[in-house]
Amino acid sequence: MAMKKFINKVEDVEEEMTEGLAKAYPDQLEKLDYGTIICRKNKKANDKVALVSGGGSGHEPAHAGFVGEGMLDAAVAGTVYTSPTPDAILEGIHAVKTDAGVLLVVKNYTGDVMNFELAEEMANDEGIKTVHVVSNDDVAVENSSFTVGRRGVAGTLFIHKCAGAKAEAGGTLEEVQAVAQKVIDNVRSMGAAIKPCTVPAAGKPGFELAEDEMEVGIGIHGEPGVHREKIKTANETADILLDKILADIDYTGHEVALMVNGSGATPLMELYIINNHVQDVLKSKGIKVYRTFVGNYMTSIDMAGFSLSLLRLDDELKTLLDAKADTPAWKEFGC
Amino acid sequence: MAMKKFINKVEDVEEEMTEGLAKAYPDQLEKLDYGTIICRKNKKANDKVALVSGGGSGHEPAHAGFVGEGMLDAAVAGTVYTSPTPDAILEGIHAVKTDAGVLLVVKNYTGDVMNFELAEEMANDEGIKTVHVVSNDDVAVENSSFTVGRRGVAGTLFIHKCAGAKAEAGGTLEEVQAVAQKVIDNVRSMGAAIKPCTVPAAGKPGFELAEDEMEVGIGIHGEPGVHREKIKTANETADILLDKILADIDYTGHEVALMVNGSGATPLMELYIINNHVQDVLKSKGIKVYRTFVGNYMTSIDMAGFSLSLLRLDDELKTLLDAKADTPAWKEFGC
Amino acid sequence: MTDQKKVLEIVEKIIAKIEEEKEYLTELDQPIGDSDHGINMARGFQEVEKKMPSLDGKDIGSILKTVGMTLMSKVGGASGPLYGSAFMKAGLKMAGKTEMDINDFLTCLDTAIEAIQKLGKAQVGEATMIDAMVPADEAMKKAVESGADDKAVLEAGSKAAWAGAEHTKDLVATKGRASYVGERGLGHQDPGATSFSYILEVISENV
Amino acid sequence: MTDQKKVLEIVEKIIAKIEEEKEYLTELDQPIGDSDHGINMARGFQEVEKKMPSLDGKDIGSILKTVGMTLMSKVGGASGPLYGSAFMKAGLKMAGKTEMDINDFLTCLDTAIEAIQKLGKAQVGEATMIDAMVPADEAMKKAVESGADDKAVLEAGSKAAWAGAEHTKDLVATKGRASYVGERGLGHQDPGATSFSYILEVISENV
Ligand SMILES: Nc1ncnc2c1ncn2[C@@H]1O[C@H](COP(=O)(O)OP(=O)(O)O)[C@@H](O)[C@H]1O
Ligand SMILES: Nc1ncnc2c1ncn2[C@@H]1O[C@H](COP(=O)(O)OP(=O)(O)O)[C@@H](O)[C@H]1O
Ligand SMILES: [Mg+2]
Ligand SMILES: [Mg+2]
Ligand SMILES: [Mg+2]
Ligand SMILES: [Mg+2]
């Protein structure tokens, strides 16, 4: 049976996709010959910190769509849903490293953490000042000292944005890392899905959902969530996620950035409907939304689902969030 | 059976969606009380032409996502897949009209054309200088004097962009209309789909496709296309569309803008893969791509499919294409 | 043939009929259109339903005009302005009148056809609602000439409308959304011709 | 126990086995992970396959190091660095050697476990590949002490590995992606423990 995807050969998906992105913006982006790595074409000044992120493919536009001025310098893509390997990450570091140092932004998955840490070790061995942060914003997964902790999901993009702006503004490696950590400490996310995703190499959906079921707390790789239940309305579903997020951090009286993120196959129509409700709920709770981002930022191939992310802001983060970012997929409207 | 959508009540979809968009950008956009109409909050100067477009809902981000500086002044949304009514269009005209006049950008569907023309007539009766253009870029449908002509699809967005820039630059109503017509004369599109879309009010897919079938030449409302055939690779499918487009206008030796547009449920992964091939083909044919746009611009709710649009550029259109546009969904990267 | 009160009764019946046939009309719009004709019509007539209380005691012209304006502002798509202007223009002809005879009715239908053709530019044979309306109009005129009573005239009209709707299966559409599918539309009945046939059927059954 | 040539033969057999069990290993990764363990492992070992010609005549240390580096740079995910560093570190122990006895093999396994634990920080009982490796290691050491021959030692190891893999069904994962599902992971066998069991099984069957 033919898979219902516009692809060519399964084993060429990652290569062709990164090529296709680079070809869309030939003056701004380049794809390295080694691996599926996208870099800024205009390299950063040597006295500014470079940012490298990455992870498995399948989350487009993350992460390569956020390469550009004010965000990432390089994005290293693994095969679909699989962390890139240390040699590829090191290659990305090599391509954009500066004297000011390199910050690696890693999502908290065992594979990602190990591969990035190995690359970091090799980079440091070569004398490249390299540090990393680990994003873990998904409140669906309990954080306990006996487990690997929460997963990194869509909130990671706020790290790219704020730490990227800090680096562009000339922050030191320590300062840029501190901003990244501040975002991590203040951002929480959770998602739900109604239709599964199909990894091209697998050829069939990674999980199954009955016609009237949804998975609450779904991971961005289609990992099972917190529980399964009957489909609810958009508003009720948003409430479930929001309740979990708000229980984890008290946002009351704070200004926040809100991201209503689509999983890849969710129409903007639905994301706007969700946003309509979330804005009302936050308002009623005394949480002021400083900026809203609605769209596909951290997807799960062709999964139909969405996640909500809330970032608690202070003056520094507000300034960094509003700073210019010129990348394929980050859109600041009206800043 | 529950529909697999994140919505609340079917009859509230259009209202909640436009509310949700306006709430995402409260400083930039407002939703009118009458109907589902989105307008710029900062009204244009009286000596600049205002642009009003619209059509049935279900094509998000079109058209409301293109309201903002340098593009549309108002977007009037009908119910899903149904043209807005004359009174609503007139309301949109009222909200943004200027002394310089109003250009209506209409997609070529019998319903849209009739409703917009009726509104135009009423506006002119009230002394509001109003003209319209009709986009008809879809080469899937034969253009003959015996039929209603080609359909307006994703190429319409290049009208919003170029005519919007011309208006922002102070062009007269005639000049802005002339730019819009120039885009219409030089843009061609065609699409294909592998999974149907579900209109919320219908509750089930508008058409059916076998597990190994695709519809070539599909319309943006899920209207049947040119023919149905077995699913092909991304490259082969892109070739079919491209051949039809290139047979209609000779782009050889010209610079073009390319849009690789997703239908709503098509992951960016696949759009990039398609772009990878289209860029190669155009290059081999001596067609230079001046700018590329890859993403969801003119969707069909949750249809999985894509369309290609090619706009033949001259110096004026290049300048207008690159002019600043600050709207939720138009993203110029690296201009 | 009918007074103001009867007109309101018939409008109620039309509203009910359209609601009843909503799914069927939408299904007809699937193979050749965008699967919404029934949804569009039902949305419009449900809105007319809301206006009914305000129409009590009004003249037939006002009733038809209100129905037309409501359809115009609530249906959208192609059928909205077409049916909308048809009822509105017919309403103009009946301005101030509280009684309507068969000739008035035929004047209204002539006016409606004219309004629809002015907007939509469709001729007979292009597989639109016109292909139900014109044959119905002709059949009723012939019946009046041959001296048939009102009931028989309307029945002849209804029969001709349905025959016309049926006949759209053999036509390749050249107007409206159905024109995009060309020959692939053969064998499919036009939704607009069908909705018109239901409306005339309701009238003929209730006069 | 085995020479350089035999090691290459066994590597070929492991490559074949992983390819054969690719779908099964991927299926095991579905309920508790992200459905890719088999795909990951197969991608890595297919790449090892390409390197085989270049390994002809090389010492065992070089062979293991190449296997490790290839897995490290081609598998990705969690299993890539784990298996990668396991083979690489074992390769260091066998540097320059062209023969390997059962004690060398156990040294390699000890080194591999150490490398995996250094990176992954998993202890026995956390439902990872460690739960197949450690029992296998212990069983083989016991067998060596009791004077069993190489074949019997390896068979004891393979049996213990499979028992360990089986036992992961009763464990709640606290490391790796499986930890996200918590109690819902009960009843599901760990894919990494399973792939290790296949590897040891192939070795025991071919020495
Ligand atoms: N130009 C036209 N003239 C007369 N009737 C038309 C014309 N175009 C469309 N129609 C009628 O409108 C019907 C479709 O209405 P509807 O589905 O509600 O609108 P849309 O086509 O915009 O979705 C067709 O079945 C046809 O009878
Ligand atoms: N911290 C760890 N220590 C030891 N083994 C681990 C650890 N984390 C994961 N694993 C092993 O890796 C296997 C999963 O590998 P794989 O599916 O290829 O990677 P990923 O989880 O990144 O998708 C698990 O079944 C488990 O045996
Ligand atoms: Mg994985
Ligand atoms: Mg319609
Ligand atoms: Mg229709
Ligand atoms: Mg896995």
Q: How far apart are CA B171 and CA A288, in angstroms?
A: 40
Q: Which of A128, A155, A185 is the last residue of a domain?
A: A185
Q: How far apart are CA B303 and CA A302, in angstroms?
A: 11
Q: Does D146 touch chain A (CB under 8 A)?
A: no
How many residues are given for chain D?
207
CATH number for the domain spanning B153: value is 3.40.50.10440
Give distance in angstroms: CA of C50 to centre of ligand 4. 23
Q: How confident is the model at residue D28 (pLDDT cuts 50, 70, 90)?
A: very high
User: Same structural domain for residues A242 and A314?
Assistant: yes
- Reported as a single tens digit per residue, the pLDDT across B120-163 is 999 999 999 999 999 999 999 776 556 778 999 999 999 999 99
Q: Which of A165, A185, A205 is the last residue of a domain?
A: A185
Judge whether A4 lies within some domain: no
User: Pick from B195, B270, B292: which is nearest to A7 by CB?
Assistant: B270
User: Same structural domain for residues A144 and A233?
Assistant: no
User: Same structural domain for residues B191 and B176?
Assistant: no
User: Same structural domain for residues B247 and B152?
Assistant: no
* DSSP class per residue in D135-147: HHHHHHHHHHHTT
Active site residue A277: no
Q: Which atom of ligand 2 is nearest to the CA of D177?
A: 21
Q: What is the pLDDT of residue A145?
A: 55
Give distance in angstroms: CA of D36 to centre of ligand 3. 5
Judge whether B177 lies within some domain: yes
Q: Which atom of ligand 2 is nearest to the CA of D191?
A: 25
User: Same structural domain for residues A254 and A176?
Assistant: no
User: Same structural domain for residues B174 and B231?
Assistant: no
Q: What is the pLDDT of residue A4?
A: 93
Query: Domain segments of chain C: what residues?
Result: 2-206
Distances (CA, A) of B313 to B329, C161, D52, D55: 22, 51, 54, 57
User: Same structural domain for residues B163 and B35?
Assistant: yes
Q: How confident is the model at residue B88 (pLDDT cuts 50, 70, 90)?
A: very high
Mean predicted confidence (pLDDT) in D180-199: 93
For a ligand 1 pocket test, name from C34, C41, C82, C196 the mutation site with the most ligand atoms within 8 angstroms of its C-beta.
Answer: C82
Q: Which residues contact A140 (CB under 8 A, 6 or more apart)?
A: A150, A151, A190, A191, A216, A217, A218, A219, A225, A226, A244
ipTM of this complex: 0.93
Residue B80: strand pairing partners? B57
Judge whether B125 lies within some domain: yes
Substitution target from A110, A117, A209, A301 for chain D, most D beta carbons within 10 A: A110
Give the residue from D145, D154, D194, D187 showing the smallest Cα distance to D169: D187
CATH number attached to the domain at D2-206: 1.25.40.340
Write out the catalytic residue numbers of B.
59, 221
Judge whether B3 lies within some domain: no
- Reported as a single tens digit per residue, the pLDDT across B156-205 is 999 999 999 999 999 999 999 999 999 999 999 999 999 999 999 888 88
User: Same structural domain for residues B159 and B207?
Assistant: no
Substitution target from A142, A148, A151, A208 for chain D, most D beta carbons within 10 A: A148
Question: For residue A125, what are the domain limits?
Answer: 10-185
Our CA-based measurement puts residue B147 at a distance from the nearest CA of chain A, in whole angstroms, of: 32
Judge whether B327 lies within some domain: no
CATH number for the domain spanning A211: value is 3.30.1180.20
Give the residue from A320, A292, A44 showing the smallest Cα distance to A162: A320
Judge whether B332 lies within some domain: no
Number of domains in chain A: 2
Q: Does the beta-carbon distance from D34 to A206 stay under 8 Å?
A: yes
Q: What is the mean pLDDT of each run of 10 residues along chain C (207 residues)?
A: 94 98 94 90 97 96 97 95 97 96 97 96 96 98 96 98 97 87 89 98 96
Low-confidence ranges of chain A (pLDDT < 70): 1-2, 143-146, 334-335
User: Same structural domain for residues B142 and B276?
Assistant: no
- Reported as a single tens digit per residue, the pLDDT across A18-66 is 999 999 999 999 999 999 999 999 999 999 999 999 999 999 999 999 9
Q: What is the CA radius of gyration of chain B?
A: 19
Q: Do chains B and C touch (3 or more CB pairs under 8 A)?
A: yes
DSSP H or E stretch at residue D115: helix D102-120
User: Same structural domain for residues A203 and A309?
Assistant: yes
Q: Does B201 touch chain C (CB under 8 A)?
A: yes
Judge whether A122 lies within some domain: yes
User: Same structural domain for residues A166 and A247?
Assistant: no
Q: Which of B185, B214, B237 is the last residue of a domain?
A: B185
Q: How far apart are CA A250 and CA A236, in angstroms?
A: 21
- Which residues of chain A are within 8 Å of residue D30 when distances are taken between CB atoms? 206-207
- Reported as a single tens digit per residue, the pLDDT across C126-169 is 999 999 999 999 999 999 999 999 999 999 999 999 999 999 99
Structure tokens at B214: 């695709």
Judge whether A16 lies within some domain: yes
Q: Does D72 touch chain A (CB under 8 A)?
A: yes
Helix (H, G, I), strand (E, B) or coil at B241: helix
Q: Does A146 touch chain B (CB under 8 A)?
A: no
Active site residue A63: no
CB B260 within 8 Å of CB B227: no
Q: How far apart are CA D162 and CA A209, in angstroms?
A: 32
Give distance in angstroms: CA of B118 to centre of ligand 3. 57
Q: What is the pLDDT of residue B1?
A: 46
User: Same structural domain for residues B154 and B194?
Assistant: no
D81 lines ligand 2 (CB under 6 A): no
Q: What is the pLDDT of residue A144?
A: 58
pTM higher than 0.90, yes or no? yes
Q: How confident is the model at residue D180 (pLDDT cuts 50, 70, 90)?
A: confident
CB C185 within 8 Å of CB C202: no
Helix (H, G, I), strand (E, B) or coil at B82: coil
